[in-house]
Amino acid sequence: MSPKLTPYLLVLPLIAFIAVFTYVPIFTSIDLSVRSWNFMSPTKPFVGFDNYARLFASSAFWNSLTVTAVFAGISVPLRLGLALAIASYLKREALSSRLLRGALFLPTITSTVAIAVVFSWVFSTDYGLANAVLGWLGFGKVPWLQNPQLALFVLIFINTWKQLGYDVIIYIAALQAVPQELYDAAAMDGGKRMQVFRRVTFPLIMPTTYFLLVVSVIEAFQVFTVIDVMTRGGPAGATDMLVHLLYRTGFVLFDIGTGSALAVLLFVLLIALALIKSRVIGGKVHYES
Amino acid sequence: MLRKLQLATAASLLALAVSAPAAQAATVVTFWHSFNNAGGEALDKIIADFEAANPDIDIQGEYVGNYNDIVAKLQAAIPANRGPDAVIMEVTRYGLFAEGGVLADLTPYFEADPLKDDLYDYARQIGVIGDKNYIVPFNSSTPVLYYNKDIFARAGITGEPVLKTFDDILAASKTITETLGAEGITGIAAPGQFSRWGLVMANGSDLVDAMSGEILLDAPRTIEAYQWMASLVHEHKVASADGVTEEDNGRDAFLAGKVGIMMNSTGNYVGSRKALGDKLGVLPMPCNPECSVPIGGAGIGLLASSPKDVLDAAYKFVSFAASPEANATWFAATGYLPINKKSAALPVAAEALASQPGIDVAINSLPYAHGRARTEVVTWMRTTEYDMWQAMALGTAEVEATMKKFAEDTRAEEARLGSQ
């Protein structure tokens, strides 16, 4: 075998896997987005941009977009802020820190379905643990998952709780990589805690913050499981995020064309957001050479 | 030692060679269904009885989940040609599959089958779209009104309660909630979609006309019914909002003895009897003023993609499942309606009727039970109705405006589906 060919042959299985399970579905989705298909019909007639037009004219789409934007707008800063604060405390190499890190990371590796089922019970209005505790404290029952304003915040809380451990671990690694000499130098210059954080720590962990920002925004826009198990987009569409609407359109209402159009729009939206982040924040990210 | 091993291997190979042809001779029919627990056991018995009578047919029943789970799995299986041969299909949602050519036209089988003369009229009509028969009924139901006798007694309502009109139900629910609310007991479970449809029919209207397909979501009596149902939750607070966003919560609370009244399918009878025992009472749905109940449940359809010999074998099973003996077993084990006129006379059914009070309420409702529309738009309408109902019941949307917009959107979707 030619030595020049060997590297390509070695990566070929992975490329084939990525092609089949990533790129083929993407291009198939783009193709289906301009067709009308209910998964049963042998034909898939071309309909141009009708599916997109129907989406833009649909109140359900704009509702989903708003709900998703609110979810991401609140959960992402909350996650990153909390993760950084906790990581600052847990970066010390002590037994208690290691135990707490493990405890924080557990939800990340726990089945999302299991988490959603348990929290459904916790936040049940009549028989849930949350309202039981409120009852003991003398408060009345709160309709956690039946109040359209509250339900989304419950999901934000659950998603933050589940993903926090991952962000904390990443931040701990970044904080531990900041050279101690810089803190010593700042101390000698009389730098106060917040000043040191703002001038030394935060700029040096910007690459990590940027990475977590990109990942957490993508994750926030793709939340599905906890919604499908706990609220199914309710009450009255208050938690109907884009991916849930996509699933309902394609697989419950059998409108694969419109569902695919929504998938393409979501893809374009995430690319646009990534470009915006790159322009706005990318310039402020300093990588150590 | 080696000799023994050689003999054992030879014997195994011989046994395999003998059994393989026998195994290959059996026609395998894969059957996706939605029954577990008591229903699953009853179905297993029906399958075992069929296989005993037809040793050349092997029915491989597979519990897939609820009706929606079956549809979700079919969506992946059909394009990949990995679908089952027989499948349980909900009675208002199989139209899309029938018109999409997924389900086989069973008319030739049905017309040649003496079974058709033994089925009740309502059962015969369930599987018909146009002039073709696509499913054979299996688990048919109507909604009934379950109540907890103990809760009623503790609320001061003695004897069999009069719950014939919406006003009767509201009054009883209020009494229960006011008397026992401090113990966490509410008067009524928020009605699920099947019961909501039944309450609309009881109020003299419908969601979609079963004969003409006309959208009736904005009919005055439909709106009035929804106003009453929504008021149970957000105005009178006799039904918990927990049951609005997750319908099973209302049922679970009733089975736990925390709710006085539940309107639900007769298919829930056996489970309710197991949970509440003698505390369970069963009454017909209200007549407000009309007595009219929807027929629900599902039937068994066969996939058109299956080979002819498999379709023949599958229909044999489907016909057996609707036979008097199988149907009587099914009725006694679950509470679903008998679909065969001869079932009730059989010992197992007669014993159930004699020993399980209330199991006959749905049967007695049959004279005014009606099939529901199953046009293509019904799937869209039923899926979207959940959001509309939640908004109205939780008080975030006004009923009349919501139902009128819902009707308009449903007609638009119907026009779009018709143009494809």
Q: What is the pLDDT of residues B268-279, one digit of tens each?
A: 999 999 999 999
| Nearest Cβ partner for A40 among B102, B246, B394 | B102
Rounded to whole angstroms, how far apart are CA atoms B147 and B357? 13
Inspect the interface and report whether the beta carbons of A234 and B100 lie closer than 8 Å: no
The parent domain of residue B314 ranges over 26-141+296-370
pLDDT on residue A92? 86
CB–CB of A240/A91 below 8 Å?
Answer: no
In terms of domains, do B190 and B281 share one? yes
Amino acid found at B363:
I
Number of separate domains in chain A: 1
Rounded to whole angstroms, how far apart are CA atoms B196 and B127? 23
CB–CB of A100/A91 below 8 Å?
Answer: no
Rounded to whole angstroms, how far apart are CA atoms B365 and B352? 18
A contacts of B383 (beta carbons < 8 Å):
248, 252-253
Inspect the interface and report whether the beta carbons of B394 and A235 lie closer than 8 Å: yes
Counting other chains too, the contacts that A123-132 makes at CB distance below 8 Å and 24 or more residues apart are: A123/A154, A123/A230, A124/B242, A124/B249, A125/B240, A125/B241, A125/B242, A126/B184, A126/B186, A126/B240, A126/B242, A126/B249, A126/B253, A126/B258, A127/B184, A127/B242, A127/B253, A127/B258
Q: What is the mean pLDDT of each run of 10 residues along chain A (289 residues)?
A: 84 92 93 92 91 94 97 96 94 89 94 96 92 94 92 96 95 92 88 87 92 94 95 93 95 92 96 90 67
In terms of domains, do B303 and B399 share one? no
Strand partners, A35: A46
Rounded to whole angstroms, how far apart are CA atoms B127 and B91? 7
* Among the listed residues A240, A158, A155, A245, the one whose alpha carbon sits nearest the alpha carbon of residue B390: A240
In terms of domains, do B307 and B282 share one? no
Mutate which: A28, A32, A39, A40, vs B, most B CBs within 10 A: A40
The answer to whether position B8 is within a domain reads: no
Rounded to whole angstroms, how far apart are CA atoms B252 and B167? 25
Whether residue B418 lies within 8 A of chain A, CB to CB, comes out as: no
A22 φ, ψ (degrees, to nearest 5) = -120, -60
Counting other chains too, the contacts that A8-14 makes at CB distance below 8 Å and 24 or more residues apart are: none
Strand partners, B281: B147
In terms of domains, do B40 and B177 share one? no
The answer to whether position A121 is within a domain reads: yes
Cis peptide before B289 (omega within 30 of 0): yes
pLDDT on residue B352? 92
The answer to whether position A8 is within a domain reads: no
In terms of domains, do B348 and B358 share one? yes
The answer to whether position B3 is within a domain reads: no
- How would you class B342 by CB atoms within 10 Å of its CB: exposed for 0-12, middle for 13-18, buried for 19 or more? middle
Inspect the interface and report whether the beta carbons of A124 and B242 lie closer than 8 Å: yes
Query: Which residue matches tokens 């030879």?
Result: B10
* Pairing label, strands B86-90, B296-302: antiparallel
In terms of domains, do B105 and B202 share one? no
CB–CB of B317/B50 below 8 Å?
Answer: yes
pLDDT on residue B22? 46
Amino acid found at B290:
E
Query: What length does chain A have?
Result: 289
How many inter-chain contacts (A to B, CB under 8 Å) are there?
A: 77
The answer to whether position A10 is within a domain reads: no
> Which residue ranges in chain B fall short of pLDDT 70?
1, 8-25, 420
Inspect the interface and report whether the beta carbons of B101 and A40 lie closer than 8 Å: yes
The answer to whether position A69 is within a domain reads: yes
CATH no. for residue B120?
Answer: 3.40.190.10
Cβ neighbours of residue B222 closer than 8 Å, sequence gap 6 or more: B200, B203, B205, B206, B207, B216, B403
Classify A103 in phi/psi space as left (phi over 0), alpha (psi -120 to 50) or beta.
alpha
pLDDT on residue A151? 96
CATH no. for residue A247?
Answer: 1.10.3720.10
The answer to whether position B4 is within a domain reads: no
State the smallest CA–CA distance between residue A250 and chain B in angstroms.
Answer: 10
The answer for A 35-94 residues in CB contact with B (under 8 A) is 36, 38-41, 45
Q: What letter does residue A248 receive in the DSSP assignment?
A: I
- Return the exposure string of B64-77: e unless at least 16 CB atoms fall within 10 Å of the residue's CB, then b: beebeebbbbbbeb
Mutate which: B89, B186, B387, vs A, most A CBs within 10 A: B387
In terms of domains, do B344 and B393 share one? no
* Among the listed residues B81, B70, B77, the one whose alpha carbon sits nearest the alpha carbon of residue B32: B70
In terms of domains, do B206 and B164 share one? yes
The DSSP element (H or E) to which B261 belongs, if any, is: strand B259-265
Cβ neighbours of residue B93 closer than 8 Å, sequence gap 6 or more: B67, B71, B374, B378, B379, B382
The answer to whether position A170 is within a domain reads: yes
The answer to whether position B6 is within a domain reads: no
Amino acid found at A241:
M
Does the ipTM exceed 0.90? no
B64 φ, ψ (degrees, to nearest 5) = -100, -25
pLDDT tens sequence across B95-134: 889 988 899 999 999 999 999 899 998 888 889 988 899 9
Angle of the B269-276 helix axis to the B247-255 helix axis, nearest 10: 40
Q: What letter does residue B215 receive in the DSSP assignment?
A: B
The answer to whether position A7 is within a domain reads: no
Cβ neighbours of residue A175 closer than 8 Å, sequence gap 6 or more: A87, A88, A91, A201, A205
In terms of domains, do B211 and B274 share one? yes
In terms of domains, do B182 and B281 share one? yes
Inspect the interface and report whether the beta carbons of A40 and B379 lie closer than 8 Å: no
Counting other chains too, the contacts that B117-122 makes at CB distance below 8 Å and 24 or more residues apart are: B118/B324, B118/B340, B118/B341, B118/B342, B119/B322, B119/B339, B119/B340, B119/B341, B120/B338, B120/B339, B120/B340, B120/B341, B120/B366, B122/B295, B122/B366, B122/B369, B122/B370, B122/B371
Angle of the B220-234 helix axis to the B377-393 helix axis, nearest 10: 40
**What stretches of B302-398 show up as alpha helix (H) in DSSP?**
308-321, 324-334, 347-355, 361-364, 377-393
B contacts of A233 (beta carbons < 8 Å):
387
Closest-CA residue of A relative to B233 is A146
The parent domain of residue A32 ranges over 25-284
In terms of domains, do B308 and B251 share one? no
Query: What length does chain B have?
Result: 420
Local structure of B185: helix, strand or coil? coil
Number of separate domains in chain B: 2
* Pairing label, strands B186-188, B280-283: unpaired
In terms of domains, do B242 and B301 share one? no
The answer to whether position B35 is within a domain reads: yes
B contacts of A45 (beta carbons < 8 Å):
420
Query: Which residue matches tokens 């991952």?
Result: A166
B contacts of A148 (beta carbons < 8 Å):
394, 396
Closest-CA residue of A relative to B256 is A127
The answer to whether position A187 is within a domain reads: yes
The answer to whether position A186 is within a domain reads: yes
pLDDT on residue B275? 95
